[in-house]
């Protein structure tokens, strides 16, 4: 099972609408079940450096099938996954990446959002993920 381009575009549209609603500019990346980028948008004026972060958040969420903020909690010094952000070519371990599930609960991809506070990134990612 894999996310389709049509679904990825719907996710990006919902995420952009949320970003506009909270008055922020975002980079939004959607990956498929294999962590390959399917769709991406950099809103006008969004930070250029956040494009890479958005993709890495989406990949991190898919690689481990959990929100990136959860990876952050278990990758702190003294925790079981300390240092994991150095694996897989670089992971992002703060909020803004979420797995995307189909109606049957199967993970079909992930979204990664970057360009504001991690709270805003997570909120925008959640709006996008809810499009499916």
Q: Tell me the per-residue pLDDT of 88-110, one tens digit each, with 9 for 90 and over.
A: 888 999 999 999 999 999 999 99
* 16 pLDDT above the threshold of 90: yes
**CA nearest neighbour of 61 among 8, 1, 127, 129:** 129
* Percent of the chain whose predicted confidence (pLDDT) is above 90: 91
Residues of the chain by 3-state class (helix, strand, coil), percent to 5: 40, 20, 40
Query: What pLDDT score was predicted for residue 109?
Result: 98
User: For 34-55, what is each residue's pLDDT tens digit?
Assistant: 999 999 999 999 999 999 999 9
Query: What pLDDT score was predicted for residue 64?
Result: 96
Distance of CA 2 to the CA centre of its chain: 16
Query: In angstroms, rounded to a whole number, what is the distance separating the alpha carbons of residues 51 and 132?
Result: 23
pTM of the shown model: 0.95
- The model's confidence at residue 14, banded by pLDDT at 50, 70 and 90, is very high
* 1 pLDDT above the threshold of 90: no
């Amino acid at each position: 099972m894999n996310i389709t381009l049509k679904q990825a575009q719907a996710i990006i549209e919902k995420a952009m609408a949320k970003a506009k609603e909270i008055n922020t500019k975002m980079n939004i990346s959607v990956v498929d079940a294999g962590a390959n980028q399917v769709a991406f948008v950099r809103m006008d004026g969004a930070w250029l450096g956040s494009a890479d972060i958005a993709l890495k958040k989406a990949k991190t969420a898919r690689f481990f099938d959990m929100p990136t903020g959860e990876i952050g909690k278990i990758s702190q010094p003294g925790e079981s996954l300390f240092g994991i952000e150095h694996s897989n070519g670089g992971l992002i371990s703060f909020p803004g990446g979420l797995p995307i599930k189909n109606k049957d609960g199967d993970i079909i991809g992930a979204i990664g959002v970057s360009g504001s506070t991690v709270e805003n990134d997570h909120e925008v990612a959640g709006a996008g993920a809810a499009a499916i």
